[in-house]
Amino acid sequence: MGKCMQGYLDEQFMELEELQDDVNPNFVEEVATLYFKDSARLINSIDQALERGSFDFNRLDNYMHQFKGSSTSIGASKVKTECTMFREYCRMGNAEGCLRTFQQVKKEHATLRKKLEHYFQLARQAGPKETARRSK
């Protein structure tokens, strides 16, 4: 992973890269795609819930729990950190904290998405060998 990824993705991401092989040549990208699809949906749900202003903390926490789970699976460390904060605010029933943190979650999520898109693009251009090298 290049420097640009540092901090954004943890060793879990590397584990995923390990799983990529000839049988699964685009595994990481596939997983990333699934992740962003899922997480986009969750973000939407949370957004809507927050906009409603009802602040059903339980529900919010549930959404975030899922979101955090997939973020963890893909190794999205910064996103994960923000998710944790969000959940803390939920537990405390702190609406403002939730709103604020959620903005952070979205920000990190968007940043990660861009970075990964870039990363995969480069990987594709470079070819398999290059990808392997990059992964190190």
Partner 1 sequence: MTVEQDCVALDQFPVGMRVLAVDDDQTCLRILESLLHRCQYHVTTTNQAQKALELLRENKNKFDLVISDVDMPDMDGFKLLELVGLEMDLPVIRVTHGACDYLLKPVRIEELKNIWQHVVRSRFDKNRGSNNGDKKDGSGNNEGVANSDPNNGRANRKRKDQYNEDEDEERDDNDDPSSQKKPRVVWTVELHKKFVAAVNQLGFEKAMPKKILDLMNVEKLTRENVASHLQKFRLYLKRISGNQQAIMANSDLHFLQMSNGLDGFHHRPIPVGSGQNVLQNPTDLGKFHHVSSLPLNHIDGGNILQGLPMPLEFDQLQTNNNKSIIAGNSMAFPSFPTQQSSLPNNNNHLVLEGHPQASPSAFPGHQINKRLEHWSNAVSSSSSTLPPAQNSNSIIIGHQFDVSPLPHSKPDSLEWNTQNASSSYSIPFCDSTIPLTSSMNTNPRAFYRTTDLDSNANVQPGVYYDSSQMRQSGNYGPTTDAMLSSNPKEGFIVGQQKLQSGFMGAEAGSLDDIVNSTMKQEQSQGDLSEGDLGYGGFSSLRTCL
Q: Rule CB under 8 A: say whether 37 interacts with partner 1.
A: yes
Nearest-approach distance from CB 13 to partner 1, in angstroms: 10
Residue 115 CB-density burial (10 A; 0-12 exposed, 13-18 middle, 19+ buried): middle
Q: Which residues contact 101 (CB under 8 A, 6 or more apart)?
A: 82, 85, 86, 89
- The sign of the CA dihedral 90, 92, 95, 99 is negative
Per-position DSSP letters for 23-66, written without gaps between them:
SSTTHHHHHHHHHHHHHHHHHHHHHHHHHHT---HHHHHHHHHH
Nearer to partner 1, 69 or 99 (CB): 69
Nearer to partner 1, 38 or 95 (CB): 38
Q: Rule CB under 8 A: say whether 133 interacts with partner 1.
A: no
Q: Which amino acid is at 69?
A: G
> By CB under 8 A, which span of 18-26, 47-55, 99-107, 112-120 interacts with partner 1?
18-26
Question: Binding partner 1 by CB under 8 A: which of 23, 48, 52, 53?
Answer: 23
Q: Rule CB under 8 A: say whether 69 interacts with partner 1.
A: yes
Instruction: Give residue 77's region: left, alpha or beta (phi > 0; psi -120 to 50).
Output: alpha
Nearest-approach distance from CB 18 to partner 1, in angstroms: 8
Q: Rule CB under 8 A: say whether 55 interacts with partner 1.
A: no
Interacting residues with partner 1 (CB under 8 A): 12, 15-16, 18-19, 23-24, 27, 30-31, 34-35, 37-38, 65-66, 68-70, 72-75
